[in-house]
Structure 1
């Protein structure tokens, strides 16, 4: 028999059912909202003015019993309960009575499990809701046009997430409600301003035109070129690394491609690699050269550690001259112990500023484990015009082959600097702009772009009832809104 007040704890990606653990829920009580008000008294006036209202944390009181078959089982379950309710971060509770609602709680203070019998016990537990709301399941609303209505079914205001799929290049993106609250990024175009695209695509390779590339020389770090690249029609793969060797060298295929000369540029590579065993190694590298074949820099992701899965990033200025020399990104500031990496390597130069960017992209498309480093080349040491791109995927000596390291795509753009009478595009067709009012983040294709937020833009809430929303510019977006109803 299961208690009608039974509940589940969701913690660290796992779900724990009290009934299945042998815990009988005797009582479960969520205390009322905790409201504090600040008042202003005015001499000669009866009563007071309400200055402000704040909603504080709430308490949850739970009474439980446990029944076991022995004192040993009692002691084991007791400490399992202690561990279950302790958490550095808040954990969630879902009650069987209201399976469509979730609360987030912390355990504070101490409590004990009193023996009813040597094998049985009961205890009361006080939990704190720092976030004082009960959350419903996520609601999704797709706009039929530039305008949409989202009806907030909760009893409190809720923070939305808007996703705008770009249908035409835009210089700005705005979403506004009927109360005049809005979120805006970019710049609307003045009649006297010229709209410009600051990025011109010079090269895009996804594996289908590798026959137009040339075999690279041995201008790769600590190794030599061998083996062949291939394609699965969705990226660049490695059918062969060449013959294994006991020499302490990297080896694998390398190709080089001439691109239209560019002074200001951006090179982006989406890459992935997995090590299923800790004896496997791989590296994926992108090299940049100027007109005189002088190396401008390199970006890479690699796993060269045996006995553990460890992915390291690299971003270097110029050629290899020694360990940690001229590296803005290295294992010293980018190293994660995980078996799989899927993400982006990017290097950008505008004027004298050189920027290296590495990020992992998670399953929802967001950039996580991100690093950005900048260098100002005041001495013009790396100022040559970009002319050649080289790619390389390798493994170390005779170590085991990693599982399918791959370059999904590599893109090269020429960049143009904007003048005072020009307005640049901020997003292109198929880009996804995300206004995340929950976490107060602005994303373009998963990358944080809060720097584009215009003065006056606000992370607003959905009010109770109908929220009338509109996007600008017209006919530029396919919009979806998501939110979780909040109830007191």
Structure 2
């Protein structure tokens, strides 16, 4: 027989059912909202003025009985319960009574399991809800037009996530509600303003046009191949140290530019090594810098990103990104980008892992000001290579998803640049307070008056601008007190 008050706990991607653990839920109480009110007392005036109201943390009180076949089993179950409810992160509870709602809790303080017999016991535990609301299942709706109405069926406001798939080049994106709250990135075009592309694609290589590259001079071995959507190594060659193939390409010289390397790798063993790099040079073959992902250890699984200005002149010299600020140990799979953006004498280096959902995580951004213009030469040559060290094992998988080179143009006062193009996705995440294009943070594009507004209880009319420029989705979870 199962208690009608039974519940499950989700922790560390595992699910623990109280009934299956041998726990009888005797009572389960969610305490009322905890309202904190600030008041202003005015001399010579009766009472007080309400200054502000805030919902504080909330508490959940649970009484449970445990039963075991032996004293040893009782002790084991007791410590299993201690371990279950302790966590540095929040736990998720879903009650059998309300399987469509979940709450997030944490243990605070201690509790004891009192023995009824040598193999039975009872205990009361109080958990805190730092987020004092219950959450329903995620709702997802497709806008059928640029004006769309959403019904929030929760008892309080919901926090929406808007995803705008771009259908036409846009200089701005905006979502507005019927309270005149809005969120916006970019700049609307004025009638006397010219719309321009700030970036122009020069190279977009993902294995389709490897025949347009040539093998550079140097001690390279092996050769590349194409999967049709990525660049892989067909033959690593051989050598006592780093060995593998390389390709190079010449372009019309660029003053300002962006270079982006997207790499995916999977290593299951500690004795696997790899190196994926791109080096770039000016018109006189002076090296302007390098971008890289590699694992050069044989005693641990490790992913290190490196980004350097200029040629190699010594370990840790001129490295904006290195093992000091991007060193991930124990992660078998890493897929993400390493990028340089040069505008005038400002060099911005960026690295991030890209999740399966397309979001940038574990990111780092570093800026180098080339005040002496040591690396101001115009970009002329691009080289990329992949290598393995000596006779160490090669990775289970490693590929270059793409190598992009873009020209960056200077924007004049009477010009407005596009911020997104067909195929891009703009995300306004009002739950996590994020503004993203293709998963990358773009808060620098936020309009000053924009805000992360909520969905009111009941109907909400939403408008997307500019019209006929997006396929729009909204995701949200109903919230309840």
Q: Distance in 1 between matches of 2:335 and 2:195?
A: 34
Matches within 5 A, 1:351-362: 351-362=344-355
Q: Distance in 2 between matches of 1:44 and 1:84?
A: 55
Q: Distance in 2 between matches of 1:37 and 1:200?
A: 55
Task: Give the superposition deviation at 1:404.
Answer: 2.4
Q: Structure 2 unaligned runs (5+)?
A: none
Q: Tell me the TM-score normalized by structure 1.
A: 0.96
Q: Determine the structure 2 residue equivalent to 1:230.
A: 225
Q: Distance in 2 between matches of 1:48 and 1:323?
A: 66
Contact map agreement 1:202 1:260 (CA 8 A) in 2: no
Q: Determine the structure 1 residue equivalent to 2:433.
A: 440
Task: Give the superposition deviation at 1:81.
Answer: 0.9
Matches within 5 A, 1:279-290: 279-290=271-282
Superimposed CA distance per residue, residues 273-317 of structure 1 (whole angstroms, 9 cap, x where no aligned partner): 111211111111011111111111000001111121110000011
Q: Distance in 1 between matches of 2:39 and 2:150?
A: 34
Matches within 5 A, 1:182-261: 182-218=182-218, 224-243=219-238, 245=239, 247=240, 249-261=241-253
2:306 corresponds, among 272, 292, 314, to 314
Mapped pair 1:413 → 2:410: no
Q: Distance in 1 between matches of 2:371 and 2:40?
A: 59
Contact map agreement 1:238 1:404 (CA 8 A) in 2: no
Mapped pair 1:71 → 2:71: yes
Q: Distance in 2 between matches of 1:183 and 1:361?
A: 25
Q: Determine the structure 2 residue equivalent to 1:221.
A: none
Q: Distance in 2 between matches of 1:141 and 1:424?
A: 31
Contact map agreement 2:87 2:106 (CA 8 A) in 1: yes
Contact map agreement 1:290 1:385 (CA 8 A) in 2: yes
Q: Determine the structure 2 residue equivalent to 1:152.
A: 152
Instruction: Give the aligned CA root-mean-square deviation in angstroms.
Output: 1.4
Q: Distance in 2 between matches of 1:154 and 1:485?
A: 5
SS in 2 for 1:474: coil
Q: Distance in 1 between matches of 2:254 and 2:40?
A: 65
Q: Determine the structure 1 residue equivalent to 2:269.
A: 277
1:328–1:36 Cα change, 3 Å: closer
Matches within 5 A, 1:10-409: 10-39=10-39, 49-218=49-218, 224-243=219-238, 245=239, 247=240, 249-337=241-329, 338-409=331-402
Q: Determine the structure 2 residue equivalent to 1:451.
A: 444
Mapped pair 1:483 → 2:464: no
Q: Structure 1 unaligned runs (5+)?
A: 219-223
Q: Distance in 1 between matches of 2:320 and 2:40?
A: 56
Q: Distance in 2 between matches of 1:346 and 1:301?
A: 11
Task: Give the superposition deviation at 1:15.
Answer: 1.2
SS in 2 for 1:401: coil
Contact map agreement 2:261 2:291 (CA 8 A) in 1: no
Superimposed CA distance per residue, residues 70-92 of structure 1 (whole angstroms, 9 cap, x where no aligned partner): 21221111111111111112111
SS in 2 for 1:137: strand
Task: Give the superposition deviation at 1:50.
Answer: 4.1
Superimposed CA distance per residue, residues 336-369 of structure 1 (whole angstroms, 9 cap, x where no aligned partner): 1211110011111100011111110011110001
Contact map agreement 2:159 2:431 (CA 8 A) in 1: yes
Superimposed CA distance per residue, residues 407-433 of structure 1 (whole angstroms, 9 cap, x where no aligned partner): 111111100121222111111111111
Q: Distance in 1 between matches of 2:457 and 2:44?
A: 37
SS in 2 for 1:138: strand
Task: Give the superposition deviation at 1:474.
Answer: 0.9
Q: Which moved more, 1:394-403 or 1:37-46?
A: 37-46
Q: Distance in 2 between matches of 1:209 and 1:122?
A: 70
Task: Give the superposition deviation at 1:206.
Answer: 1.3
Task: Give the superposition deviation at 1:38.
Answer: 3.9
Q: Distance in 1 between matches of 2:5 and 2:100?
A: 15
1:27–1:350 Cα change, 3 Å: same
Q: Tell me the TM-score normalized by structure 2.
A: 0.97
Superimposed CA distance per residue, residues 454-485 of structure 1 (whole angstroms, 9 cap, x where no aligned partner): 11100000000011000111111111001000
